[in-house]
Amino acid sequence: MAIVPVRRLIVWFLFLWVVLAPRVGVAHRLPPEVIAFFKVDGARLHVVVRVPTAILLDARLPTVQTTMLDLSAIDGALKGVAAEVARSLEVSDGGRPLTPERTAWILSTFTDRSFASYESAAARLSGPAIPADQPVYWNEAYVDIQYAYALASAAPQITARLNGLRLGGDFFQTRATYIPASGAPRTLAVSGPPQRVAFEPPLGDAIATLARRGVDQLGNQRLLWLFILCLAVPVRRLDATRAPFAVFAAVHAVALGLVAVRTAATSDDMFYLAQFVAGAAVIVAAVQNIIGSGRLSSVIVAAIFGLASGILLGSAVHELLPLAGSNGGLAVTAFAGLVTVSAGALLAILLSLLRLPYRLRAPEWLVTAALCALPAHEAAHVVVDVAGRLGQRNPWDQQPAVALLVAHWPVLAVAAFLALMTVMARATRLPGGARDGRTT
């Protein structure tokens, strides 16, 4: 009987520690970005590209007074840049390299926003040049280029090599939008080393590509794996994990699929809110393990986490979906199945491995508390970090619910925690409110 007060003390100490734990933030300055549009128009492919001058040191753009571009003598250098970008893109149709039939170029100021769409970008290429007497810093401008290619077939299989430009060993992200002859435009962001991208891949290639890129994103879903760890930490029988895992997997797969195939990208507010909820759910799952909650509360937390985590992973897959071409729906379905199988396999492995610590000569509740400290601590870092990010934004630009959460999140978190603990405590006292099946 004396164990109960000690267990409660451990719970409160763990909760305060993970919430108030210090965190270290690292700010990263976003590098310049190359923007490209690929538009199929009958027997022609029109490509417009915007390259920041900041990454064109090797082009030796003419300058005056060291830092200002010499606009009166820059046309020859821009022609060289256009030729180099065409070589870097290596556009092909069905494996056949294409050579631009026509090339145009123009210099734009750093404040120009023409590349928000293909139409405005193409209009900029036929627009007026910057006046020769206007001062423009060498690293605060864009080189805009337009190419016209003759296509080899009526059903083109366009590929291009993206991220070929680099500066000092660093590669720069390319944001490419493919506009097919029929169908919605598809935008993808490619970072890292140069890679060839097929805009209309076959179904098998689409699934393989999305699975390969998706696995990279899956490795970044730290909260997902921490939650699976929370499911496995108590010494449960396998059948005791089936209900919470099944609910999590079902809700997660549906949320992932719906978010991934949406036309619009997930808003920043929704993304941060999902991160906050997922982190909070991991903390609650860890505490549930320590106090021994009932199955119903475990299933509810699993559903909440599945929804939030599905939104997060679906947002990442949404950016990769253009790599699947017109086979996006089937590719997302296959990827969601891969995630479920991977999570289930990890859970089965952890259920076997985590039996070892419980064989030590230590109280079961103490071993559980020690194992739950890692996921709770890591999840609390996410919760505090997301709250800090949202707190730096203008509250008038946020949804009312998000603004309320940001302004009062410590109080709301403590109140929600106390309410949940009270509900779970009462549930375990009710007739039939058995603990989730733990082995002895």
Domain boundary pick from 198, 222, 251: 198
Indicate whether 292 belongs to any domain.
Answer: yes
Domain boundary pick from 166, 198, 230: 198
Report the distance separating Cα 298 and Cα 113, nearest Å.
Answer: 49
- 266, 379: one domain: yes
- Exposure string over 367-378, b if 16+ CB within 10 A, otherwise e: bbbebbbebbbb
- 154, 264: one domain: no
pLDDT at site 19: 47
pLDDT at site 109: 93
Q: Tell me how far the alpha carbon of residue 22 is from its chain's centroid.
A: 25
- 318, 368: one domain: yes
- 239, 380: one domain: yes
| DSSP string of 127-138, one letter each residue | SPPPPTTS--BT
- 151, 173: one domain: yes
- 161, 298: one domain: no
Of the two residues 239 and 418, the one the predictor is more confident about is 239
- 128, 248: one domain: no
Structural contact between residues 49 and 125, judged by C-beta atoms closer than 8 angstroms? no
The string of pLDDT tens digits covering residues 16-27 is 555 444 443 433
Mean pLDDT, residues 387-412: 56
Query: Total structural domains in the chain?
Result: 2
- 275, 370: one domain: yes
In this structure, the chain runs to a length of: 440
Does residue 201 register a pLDDT over 70? yes
pLDDT at site 308: 93
Question: 106: closest CA among 133, 89, 131?
Answer: 131
Mean pLDDT, residues 66-79: 91
pTM above 0.85, yes or no: no
Indicate whether 91 belongs to any domain.
Answer: yes
Q: How many CB atoms lie within 10 A of CB 422?
A: 10
Indicate whether 133 belongs to any domain.
Answer: yes
Domain boundary pick from 198, 231, 252: 198
Residue type present at position 368 = T
pLDDT at site 222: 86
Of the two residues 169 and 365, the one the predictor is more confident about is 365
Does residue 350 register a pLDDT over 70? yes
Does residue 90 register a pLDDT over 90? yes
pLDDT at site 198: 87
The string of pLDDT tens digits covering residues 255-293 is 988 888 876 767 777 888 898 889 989 988 888 887 776
- 275, 373: one domain: yes
Indicate whether 435 belongs to any domain.
Answer: no
pLDDT at site 430: 46
Of the two residues 310 and 287, the one the predictor is more confident about is 310
- 233, 188: one domain: no
Indicate whether 6 belongs to any domain.
Answer: no
Mean pLDDT comparison of 144-148, 179-183, 377-381, 385-389, highest-scoring range:
144-148
pLDDT bin (cut points 50, 70, 90) of residue 317 is confident
H helix or E strand, kind and range, residue 246: helix 238-260
Mean pLDDT, residues 86-104: 93
Of the two residues 118 and 438, the one the predictor is more confident about is 118
Percentage of the chain beyond pLDDT 90 is 29
- 225, 193: one domain: no
Phi, psi of 198 (to 5 degrees): -95, 125
Report the distance separating Cα 291 and Cα 279, nearest Å.
Answer: 19
- 194, 226: one domain: no
Indicate whether 29 belongs to any domain.
Answer: no
Q: CB-based contacts of 2: which residues, under 8 Å, 6+ apart?
A: none
Indicate whether 440 belongs to any domain.
Answer: no
pLDDT at site 26: 38
SS3 117: coil
Residue type present at position 84 = E
Q: What is the span of the domain harbouring residue 408? A: 211-429
